[in-house]
Structure formats: C-alpha cells, structure tokens
C-alpha cells in the first residue's frame, strides 16, 4: 500500500478506488467483473482460472452482497454519503475472512489497492464512526491495554522460551531477531516458536528474542480496522529493532510475516523479514542445516492465506519436505495460490463463528480425502481454526515443529 499520512483513515485513504467525480479516477476502480469471487470472466493476465469456489463468505451464504465487488459498492455509497453504516452493512464487511484471494485475482489492482484494501478501509471507517464491532471489543481492549489481542498480561509474555537458554534483547545483542508472535504463549503457536528456536540453535545462528517485551505485530489491528492501534504497534516495533541494530527478523507465523512486510511499505525499513520456513530453506541449501532422521509419513501441506497469497511463499516448504528422508507429500487439489481458506482470519471466528467453522471443515475434508497421515501448516491462526472445528478432522501439526523432529 502507498506511503500515506497516519492521519488519513477509513475510506479517505482509498478514495481513488471509490470513483470520485472526475473521469480520470474512474480508471482506477472496480469494473464489477466478478473475477474476485470466481464468477466473472477469466482475467486475461491469468495462466489458469483455478477452481470456481474462491470466496468463503460468498460460497457459504450464496448472496451477491457477500462478494468483494459488493463490498466495494457498499464502500462507494458510504463514501459519497448515499448510504449510512447499518447493522446489515457491518454484517457483510466483517464476514470477510481476509483470505486475499480477491487481491490475487483483481485485474485492475494497478495502483497499490485492491478489493481487500477496500474492506480494511471500510472497517476503519466503521471503527472511527461507531467504534469496534461488539464481537471484536475484547480484541481491541487487549491491544490497547496489553499490546496483544488475547488480553494476556504483559508480564506473562514470553513464557514459551523458558528453559531454552535463549538470549533476550537488552541483556544480549545479535543482528537476528526471532519474533515469536502473540500465539507463542497459546497452544496454537507454542510448538512453532519452540521449534524455530531449536532449529536456529542447531544451525549456529546468533539471535535474540524479546520475551516479555514483545508486542503484537499489529495483525488484528490492521485487519479489523483499528488503524490507530496498528500505527502505534508498528512504531513501537520499528523503534525496538532499529535502536538495537536488528537487520533480520524471522517470524514463526505467516500472518506476522505479512504484517512485518507491511511495515516496509511505509519506507525507511532497513531490515529483512523472513518466515522461519524461508530461512530454514536457505540454511538447508547452504549446508548449515541437514535433516538426518527419517519420518515415514504421508503429509499434506495447507498453504496459509497470509504466507501464501500474502507474501508468496510456496516453494520453500515443499523443498524442505523433499529434504526429509521418508516423507511423502500429497497435495490437496486446491494448493499454492488456489488454497482454500481455513476461516480463521479477519476476525471471523469472533464475528461469524458458523462461517469460520464451515470454512475450516471444507479445508479439513479436502485434507482427509488425500489419505495423508497429517496436515502441516505454518500459521497459528490456521492451527486454531482446525482445532476448534467440530466433526472429523485430520491431525494437524505445525510445519516448523515437524522439521525439528527430523534433526
């Protein structure tokens, strides 16, 4: 996204995409083709159209109002004062799972904005005028009071790294920071953070952690429209690493990876951001890390929306799996850029739990049909979604945790 003033919030940030009055600005907006949800003409820039089902809320509700183009139309009418912000409008705006498929498919996203950006801007508009959605108030409060979306006390942060002998920034220095993320102290994310730390130790990497001083990357603030909180958290995180001379940030979660890269779009970010999978891929290629223990399992890999469509990491996890003796990768029909969303993003589990459960079950059933023994994923949000869904499901394991077992 473009470098914008922090004082520009809501729909004003994306006014060029909402068709202001002059003809020149009309060329930058939605053309209502329907490609964003899989029911329009094929984008001429695409090599393949992919599966028909692309937008989780549309496929669940089967109403046009739940499509990305309809959210754009709603935003346009609100921006020009034609419609008020109603409960029905908010129901649609907050049903988006932030899978980023519409961003992937939009053929006129040529000025830095796309369908998902309009949804985020609309959420900012709602927050500024009416406050957070009731279902998201606890998340907003947690970010304001504790710098994390779960309401975890700041003093409790960093419990995941106890007993690992890790160096904490302040007491030690290093050019590399392991950013564990808010889920590291929760069941859905602890194994990933612990595994990444152990992998880095085996590879001889000099790195530090933030421990109790770590703050949320700002994912929930960004995606739910809490723009002021996002900017505050971004500034705190950037100040921390820049003052410490950190040149490389390694994340455990694809969502954190996406937001840390978002920081760089503001300009002046002199550091590299890598997901743990990307860095492990580099270490294996350079010979600094080798998997010697065979794991005789059939696995399927779930491309999380944020690590996949968000930052484009597709090949690295597959190369790593091929480097482990005994592993057989069985791909799901919808994989890589076409991977189906688990339903865990965009605040949907809190705002529309039925939709979140349905989307997770859709993906879990696809994984089960492969005949694999386990589904691997690189996202704490995805692990949470699959853990909380009802019905039969394939065992789910964090990708980095799986790698660590092959050492």
Q: What tokens were used for 39?
A: 């029911």
* pLDDT recorded at residue 27: 42
243-257 pLDDT, tens per residue?
A: 999 999 999 999 999
Cα 143 from Cα 345, distance rounded (Å): 17
Q: What is the mean pLDDT of residues 266-291?
A: 90
Q: Is the pLDDT of residue 6 over 80?
A: no
Cα 226 from Cα 4, distance rounded (Å): 16
Q: Is the pLDDT of residue 26 over 60?
A: no
Q: What is the mean pLDDT of residues 189-217?
A: 94
Q: Are 256 and 181 in contact (CB under 8 A)?
A: yes
Q: Of the candidates 366, 281, 283, 286, which has an alpha carbon nearest to the alpha carbon of residue 318?
A: 281
Inter-axis angle of helices 227-244 and 137-146, to 10 degrees?
30
* pLDDT recorded at residue 46: 52
Share of the chain above pLDDT 90, in %: 67
Q: Which domains does the chain have, with CATH numbers?
A: 10-131 (no CATH), 136-283 (3.40.50), 291-404 (3.40.50)
Q: Are 370 and 332 in contact (CB under 8 A)?
A: yes
Q: For the chain, what is the largest distance between any 2 Cα atoms, rounded to a whole number of angstroms?
A: 64
DSSP secondary structure of 5-20: -TT--GGGGGGGGG--
128-140 pLDDT, tens per residue?
A: 999 999 999 999 9
Confidence of residue 378 (pLDDT cuts 50, 70, 90): very high
The DSSP code for 265 is T
* pLDDT recorded at residue 15: 63
Q: Is the pLDDT of residue 3 over 50?
A: no
């Amino acid at each position: 996204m473009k470098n914008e003033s922090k004082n520009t919030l809501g729909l004003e940030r994306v006014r060029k995409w909402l068709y202001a009055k002059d003809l020149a600005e009309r060329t930058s907006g939605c053309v209502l083709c329907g490609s964003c949800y899989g029911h329009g003409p094929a984008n001429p820039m695409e090599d393949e159209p992919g599966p028909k089902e692309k937008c989780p809320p549309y496929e669940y509700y089967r109403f046009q109002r739940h499509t990305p183009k309809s959210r754009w139309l709603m935003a346009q009418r609100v921006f020009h004062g034609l419609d008020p912000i109603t409960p029905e409008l908010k129901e649609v705006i907050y049903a988006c799972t932030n899978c980023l498929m519409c961003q992937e498919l939009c053929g006129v996203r040529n000025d830095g904005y796309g369908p998902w950006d309009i949804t985020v801007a609309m959420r900012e508009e709602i927050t500024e005028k009416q406050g957070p959605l009731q279902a998201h108030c606890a998340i907003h409060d947690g970010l304001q009071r504790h710098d994390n979306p779960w309401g975890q006390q700041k003093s409790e942060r960093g419990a995941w790294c106890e007993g690992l002998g890790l160096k904490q920034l302040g007491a030690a220095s290093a050019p590399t920071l392991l950013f564990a993320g808010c889920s590291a102290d929760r069941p859905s994310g602890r194994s990933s953070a612990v595994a990444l730390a152990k992998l880095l130790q085996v590879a001889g990497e000099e790195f530090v952690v933030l421990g109790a001083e770590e703050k949320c990357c700002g994912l929930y603030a960004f995606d739910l429209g809490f723009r002021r909180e996002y900017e505050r958290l971004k500034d705190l995180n950037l100040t921390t690493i820049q003052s410490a001379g950190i040149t490389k940030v390694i994340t455990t979660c694809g969502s954190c990876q996406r937001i840390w890269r978002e920081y760089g779009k503001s300009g002046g970010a002199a550091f590299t951001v890598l997901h743990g999978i990307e860095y492990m891929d580099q270490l294996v290629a350079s010979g600094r890390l080798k998997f010697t223990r065979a794991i005789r399992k059939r696995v399927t890999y779930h491309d999380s929306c944020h690590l996949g469509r968000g930052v484009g990491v597709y090949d690295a996890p597959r190369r790593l799996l091929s480097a482990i003796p005994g592993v057989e990768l069985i791909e799901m029909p919808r994989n890589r850029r076409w991977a189906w969303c688990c339903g865990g993003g965009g605040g949907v589990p809190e705002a529309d739990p039925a939709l979140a459960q349905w989307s997770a079950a859709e993906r879990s059933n696809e994984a089960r049909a492969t005949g694999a023994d386990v589904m691997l994923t690189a996202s704490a949000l995805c692990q949470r979604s699959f853990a909380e869904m009802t019905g039969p499901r394939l065992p789910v394991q964090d990708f980095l945790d799986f790698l660590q077992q092959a050492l």
